[in-house]
Structure 1
Amino acid sequence: MARTNRRLSRATRYARYAGGPDPLAAPVDLTEALDAIGEDVMAGYSPEQAMREFLRRGSKDRAGLDDLARRVAERRQELAQKHNLDGTLQEIKQLLDSAVLAERKQLARDAGLDEGDRALAEMQLDNLPASPAAAVSELNGYDWQSGAARADFEKIKDLLGREMLDQRFAGMKNALENATDDDRAAIAEMLNDLNALLDAHTRGTDTPEQFDEFMQKHADYFPENPQTIDELLDTLAQRAAAAQRMRNSMTQEQRDELDALAQQAFGSPELMQSLAQLDENLQSLRPGENWGGSERMEGQEGLGLGDGTGVFQDLADLDELSEQLSQSYNGSRLDDLDLDKLTRQLGDQATVDARALQQLEKALHESGTMKRGSDGQYKLTPKAMRALGKALLRDVAEKLSGRQGNRDLRQAGAAGDRSGATREWAFGDTEPWDVTRTITNALTRTAGEGRPTGSGIRIEIGDVEVHETEARTQACVALLVDTSFSMAMDGRWVPMKRTALALHTLITSRFRGDELQLIGFGRAAEVMQIEQLIGLDAMWEKGTNLHHSLLLANRHFRKHPTAQPVLLIVTDGEPTSHLEPNGEVYFNYPPDPVTVAYAVRELDNSMRLGAHTSFFRLGDDPGLARFIDSMARRVGGTVVAPEADDLGAAVVGSYLGSRKPGGGFGAAGSGFDELFGRSDGLWAR
């Protein structure tokens, strides 16, 4: 057995992890994403748009799509500005210059050479054309005296052949360095067999066996290891298209030079014929590749034909990644992102960031955060609304604790104020434990059972005592939020929604017995569900119909006659519209005294129903301040003038204060007649 274990141990191998998500990565945290998505939804984005925006921006710890797209664009610009396309021509020119120089030296020191032959050779070298292609063609039959010069000249033909092949088959330039005649013959045979296979595929007469036979014979030329003829075609066509785009990007002079030089490649015109046939087959079989594009390459570093084709493939990969990262096409998903190409172009960290975004997108779709409605559009689910509301409530709690002596909303409202007495726990109790009395009961019981000291204490149900609290009355809450155009224009739209959601979350999670109604009022008023209010687009219609919203609030109060009415009004403008007896909406600016009178009458009705009223005045308009102050004095309400960012804390704090036993607001005079210069008793109607 021991021998077997040792044998298994010796067979163990370790390698770098590759592929798939990081097995040690932390689970996807949706908190930050949900907060950001919720903010955008409240600002008017659809949930789908909001999710896309978050993925574009990224999180605090992860790059987003925009950052990855920026790096892709920078990488592309770097490649285009770094290189130029005359690398092969420059290399040929250097070999040609080296051969000519070596030959001149040999002619100068070769004493046995006939003077007439020397003069003729020097004249031929002196009068070579400036064009490298023409010079190579003229020297093709030259009788070289220098062995080194002859070797350099032969390298030109060898270089051209390797570069031409490297354009179509990556890595061929290095593989065929110092190629023999047998190597060249093998290349020619492979090209002939490949063109025959592609011809058969074009006609539809090829078979899997024919492909397998080809790969068994020529597999060494295809390190990509294609498994089907389509995979082979994709690989070859992508590189051939890149080679064509490189050619398109050259100047006409460069193309003419290379065309003329290509006939000298390996000293075999047949090679060029085979490559031309290959290109023709590939363009016919893969017309969807980009065969017509071009680039401006004006850098300092020259590219050979093979390396340049690789760069143009990189550019094509970067263009594809840019489109994938844009997510601008129909049905786009982050799963479309080619992580292998991203790794090749930007490195491992970019792939880690992209994979994290993919997982986040998948989690948002699968976690119940969003669902498609009947109209096909994504909507935030109740689960997402609760999570977002809790986050907003935490923010409100932090602001309240800073102003009210570390008050914790998690404790507020769980029960009434403590009476000072305790009692035995009963099923259904939610009051906090009296820990001291509970442990004392357990100790007393343990000692009475005669158990030895030091044997530990075990608390049983009968030991538990809880703090008694004063009974809380049920509240009937109406939150009236101004949805007029000025709220959106002055940047108060999102704070208004955040306030509504925070209060809704508090009541539905901590004060389930309370009845909350959300009422939005612009030119007219409307009772809204929280999902409707959160998804409400900015409304640019003028009108502030406080009268209509108070009518709806009072109707809500009358439906719950045993509950304590709590009226919370958020507005940034005086009433400018009201509901006529026939149901039509009347609007006028500046405020019509009749409109104000209708609003005051309904506010008086709220007071007679016993409502605790709080006004939350947004903005510094003096007229609005006088109006709100007068309204509050009339009904014994309070006025709070918070900054927009503090609105949520102000409203929640007011609601909590109104629920305290004995809580309420002092009464005061009205002052409306003085404010509007009326003395006809209109306000009392």
Structure 2
Amino acid sequence: MSGFRYGEYEDGPDPLRAPYDVRAALDELGRSIMAGERPGQALRELLRRGVRGLGGLEDLRRRASERAGRLRSSGRLSGTLEEARRLLDRAVGEERAALFPDPGDEARLREAQLDDLPADAAAAVRGLAGYEWRSDTARATFEELRGLLRREVLDAQFRGMKQALSGGSPEELRRVATMLDALNAMLAADDRGEHGRVDFERFMAEYGDLFPDQPRDLRELVDSLARRSAAARRVLNSLTPAQRAELDALGRQAAIDSGLADRLDRLGQSLRSRRPDLDWSGGEAVDGGTALGMGDATGVLEELAELAELDSALGQDYPGARLDDVDSAAVRRSLGTGAAEELKRLRELDRQLRDQGYLSGSRNKLELTPKAVRRLADTALRDVLSDRSAPRPGAHSVSDTGASGERTGTTRPWRFGDEQPLDVVRTVVNAAARPAGPAGRVRLRPEDFEVAETERRDAAAVCLLVDLSYSMVGRDLWGTAKQTAMALHSLVSTRFPQDAVQIIGFNDYARVLAPGELAELSLDWVQGTNLHQALALAGRHLDRHPEFDPVVLVVTDGEPTAHLDSEGTARFAYPPAAETTEATMAEVDRMTRRGARLTVFMLADDPRLTAFVTEVVDRNGGRMLRPDPDRLGAFVVDALLSRRGSGRRARRRP
């Protein structure tokens, strides 16, 4: 029987993974906006932390950091130097072993020549360049050393060159030389403005196998070579001064012996002039148990540099940052296919929020669309309703209710603007009374439609006055107040569309807030609690709807500290000035004459506030409530529903 193994899916993204929900992502975005963040800032934070079922940029940064940590402990950068010394010592030892049995003077002279070799490996290799080896084994070891240096020098410049020169034949070396000549010529032609696409394609057709990353054009080829060349320089810079000098000399000697020194120098100068922005002088603290060759060490530092750039792009904390700045290919190379797929899905989420009509504007000035505001208001209402542990009489869920009252059993012709439900039976009967059309079809006309008459239901003029002063921000009540206001607006708009609702925010001045303005309202560290002006604006709203039941709800954490003077200028004073209290109480009395009873929600346990609100409710006949700030929305909704269920009150003119 064949065996089965169960575990985490490893071959790319999980095909059974649940897709992310764009609307759920918008809800998370909305919670950040409710807390005072601007839409652009909230979107960046959402993409940073991710959403349910999709990791964010911060998770990718964490994985990139872990990958960089593993690379820094992957091995020692001096591996080529260590291997060169080992092969040199072995070749000299093998030669001494061959000379020892020979009693002649020539053998002693050769031993003296070996004894005089410098301790520096590069100088020793130069000293042995013309040496006539007695031992074939020693000669082969020395040629192995020279081949190692040639391969490592070229592999440090060209990724994968070690494999291309694995045979060590003169033909392979000559092909590399002609490639370098063609590459330098192509770069020179580009400097003169004479390079064309066909020249690059011809070059890649002949030498493309030497470039495993398969660049698509000359710019990508230069970028790849320059990054690797800069990384090779940083490998040398990461060694001790003595190691750096010795390995640099070994590489230089290998390039001279191969006949490539001038070609490589010319290429290096061209790359550096084209990409001076790269780090050509830095180094890295890389250490570990494994000795890394020059090519492998260059690859490590090249990837570390790429991870550093990736970390900066994933951080998105620079002006004009965009998800498109993140290199998908770099993510795939360093973090795998799954990470690249996650980045792709984050970009898709960013795009879907726009394509589905939730966000508009540029990245620097992102705005919520009316569709998004409605969604955020509905979400705020759902959150509030889910927090109502003990619904009061008159409270209703808005998920399955309509706009009209109970049906009377009669119908009438439909008129433009009617919100009553259609009477489908009467509508079809009216259409069927006419002669049938082709093939016996019944066609509906506008005059056929009839609506079911419903009982008239009382309408209310609802005013929510929300304190947005300095103290609300300081007590972290800002987001709660915004959520409550949007939830109330959504409740009235959906459950009681015949009502007239107005949201008024107040600090030093009071102002009417539309749902869109409310959603994008940012933190405002302004001193002043101008309840006087807020009540005046609410009174005007009630006067515009004299036949509606008045419902006035006030949310505040402090007594009034500002009022409007006769010239319309806000006057602030703390402790509150007598003029402020008198002006505010005058507006309370006007509310009382209108028949509007105030419901005041106190969000602070302050004796002065308690005394003020107590006087307000005594003069007005309203109510004072002390809700838990975390459940403010539930209290406000309950208060509205209970007030609407209490029947009409006589309205008197102010």
TM-score computed with the length of structure 2 as normaliser: 0.84
Measured against aligned partners, the alpha-carbon deviations of 1:585-639 in whole angstroms (never above 9, x if no partner) come to 3433323444333323322221221224211111111232233233223322222
Partner of 2:383: 395
Aligned residue for 2:311?
A: 322
Q: Conserved in 2, the CA contact under 8 Å of 1:415 and 1:469?
A: no
1:47 equivalenced with 2:39 (yes/no): yes
Within a 5 Å distance, the mapping from 1:522-541 to structure 2 comes to 522-541=507-526
Residue in 2 that maps onto 1:607: 592
Work out whether residues 485 and 538 of structure 1, in 8 Å CA contact, stay in contact via their aligned partners in 2: no
- Cα distance in structure 2, aligned partners of 1:189 and 1:411: 76
Partner of 1:130: 119
Q: Tell me which amino acid in the other structure corresponds to 1:588.
A: A
Counterpart residue number, 2:26? 34
Question: Shift in Å at residue 384 of structure 1?
Answer: 0.7
> Does residue 365 of the first structure (1) align with residue 335 of the second (2)?
no
* Residue 553 (structure 1) shift: 1.4
Any idea what SS the aligned residue of 1:179 has?
Answer: coil
Residue matched to 2:93: 101
Shift of 1:651: 0.8
Q: From 477, 481, 489, give the equivalent of 2:462.
A: 477
Contact 1:238 1:289 in 2 (8 A): no
Aligned to 1:560: 545
Q: Which amino acid aligns with 1:546?
A: L
Tell me the distance in 1 between the aligned counterparts of 2:325 and 2:63: 18
Q: Does 1:239 align with 2:239?
A: no
Report the equivalent of 1:511.
Answer: 496
Are residues 593 and 290 of structure 1, via their aligned partners in 2, closer, same or farther at CA, if it must alter by over 3 Å? closer
Amino acid at match of 2:322: R
CA distance 1:211–1:491, change in 2 (3 Å): closer
Q: Which whole-Å CA distance do the structure 2 matches of 1:487 and 1:206 have between them?
A: 65
TM-superposed CA distance for 1:139, in Å, is 3.0
Shift in CA distance, 203/469, structure 1 to aligned 2, threshold 3 Å: closer
1:682 maps to what in 2? none
- Give the Cα separation in 2 of the matches to 1:546 and 1:583: 14
Change (3 A) 1:132 1:484: same
Counting aligned pairs with the same residue, the percent is 42
Q: Does residue 242 of structure 2 align to residue 253 of structure 1?
A: yes
User: Are the equivalent residues in 1 in contact too, given 2:403–2:419 (CA < 8 A)?
Assistant: no
Structure 1 residues 225 and 551: alpha-carbon distance in aligned structure 2, compared to 1, 3 A threshold: closer
Change (3 A) 1:588 1:146: same
Per-residue deviation, 1:569: 0.8
The RMSD of aligned alpha carbons is 3.5
CA deviation vs aligned residue, 1:75-108 (integer Å, no higher than 9, x gap): 2343234443211101101112222333344445
Cα deviations across residues 266-315 of structure 1 (Å, max 9, x unaligned)?
8725222221122223334x234515241223413433221122223212
Encode CA deviations 1:30-83: one digit per residue, 9 max, x unaligned: 233322322332333221111111111222332222222233233234323444
CA drift of 1:471 comes to 4.0
1:432–1:407: structure 2 CA closer, same or farther, 3 Å change rule? farther
**Alpha-carbon deviations, 1:482-526, whole Å to 9, x = none?**
122111111111111111111111112221111111222223322
For 2:645, what is the secondary structure of its paired residue? coil
CA-to-partner distance for each residue in 1:363-389, whole Å, 9 max, x for gaps?
Answer: 12222212239x973221111111001
1:203/1:651 CA distance change after superposition, 3 Å? same
Whole-angstrom CA distance in 1 between matches of 2:625 and 2:235? 70
Is the 8 Å Cα contact of residues 71 and 286 (structure 2) preserved in structure 1? no
Contact kept? 1:159, 1:265, Cα under 8 Å: no
1:194 is aligned, of 183, 187, 192, to: 183
Aligned to 2:25, the other structure's residue is in SS state helix
* Aligned residue number for residue 670 of structure 1: none
- 5 Å-filtered alignment, 1:128-277, equals 128-206=117-195, 210-226=199-215, 228-265=217-254, 268=257, 270-277=259-266
List aligned pairs for 1:342-381, cutoff 5 A.
342-372=331-361, 377-381=365-369
Separation in structure 2 between the aligned mates of residue 166 and residue 423 of structure 1, nearest angstrom: 89
Q: Which range is displaced more, 628-637 or 358-367?
A: 628-637
| Matched position secondary structure for 2:465 | strand
| Conservation of the 8 A alpha-carbon contact between 1:482 and 1:522 | yes
Give the aligned residue type for 1:295: G
Q: 1:405 to 1:297 in 2, by over 3 A?
A: farther
1:572 has 2:557 as partner: yes
**2:55 matched to 1:63?**
yes
Query: Partners of 2:190 and 2:47 in 1: how far apart?
Result: 43
Higher RCO (CA < 8 A, seq sep 6+): 2
User: 2: CA distance between counterparts of 1:559 and 1:500?
Assistant: 21
Please report how far the alpha carbon of residue 546 of structure 1 lies from its aligned counterpart in structure 2 after TM superposition. 2.0
CA deviation vs aligned residue, 1:125-171 (integer Å, no higher than 9, x gap): 44543221122233334443433222111111111111111122221
Partner-residue secondary structure (3-state), 2:333: helix
CA shift for structure 1 position 657 = 1.1
User: Which residue, 503, 527, 534 being the options, matches 1:542?
Assistant: 527
Where 2:260 maps in the other structure, the secondary structure is helix
Change (3 A) 1:263 1:587: closer
Q: Which of 307, 313, 316 is the matching residue for 2:296? A: 307
Aligned to 1:332: 321
Letter in 2 for 1:188: A
| 2:177 match: secondary structure | helix
Question: Who is 2:437 aligned against?
Answer: none
SS at match of 1:283: helix
In 1, distance between residues paired with 2:136 and 2:127?
Answer: 18
- 1:52 counterpart letter in structure 2: R
Q: Contact between 1:262 and 1:272, CA under 8 Å: does it hold in 2?
A: no
CA shift for structure 1 position 360: 1.1
Identify unmatched segments of 5+ residues in structure 1.
1-15, 439-465, 666-684
SS at match of 1:400: coil
What SS does the aligned partner of 1:481 have? Answer: strand
Given residue 102 of structure 1, which amino acid in structure 2 is its aligned partner? Answer: E
Does residue 496 of structure 1 match 2:481? yes
CA distance in 2, matches of 1:586, 1:200: 74
1:240 maps to a residue whose letter is S
Partner of 2:447: none
> Structure 1 CA distance, aligned partners of 2:265 and 2:507?
73
Q: Secondary structure at the match of 1:536?
A: coil
CA contact (8 A) 2:487 2:633 kept: yes
SS state of the match for residue 84, structure 1? coil
d(CA) in 2 for partners of 1:359, 1:302: 43
CA distance in 2, matches of 1:573, 1:473: 34
User: CA–CA distance in 1 between the matches of 2:208 and 2:633?
Assistant: 70
- Find the residue that maps to 2:245 and give its secondary structure: helix
Distance 1:17 1:214 in 2: 38
The aligned counterpart of 1:281 is: 270
* Cα distance in structure 1, aligned partners of 2:528 and 2:181: 81
3-state SS of the aligned residue for 1:151?
A: helix
Q: CA deviation at 1:212?
A: 4.6
Structure 2 gaps of 5+ residues are: 1-8, 426-450
For these two proteins, the number of residue pairs brought into alignment is 612
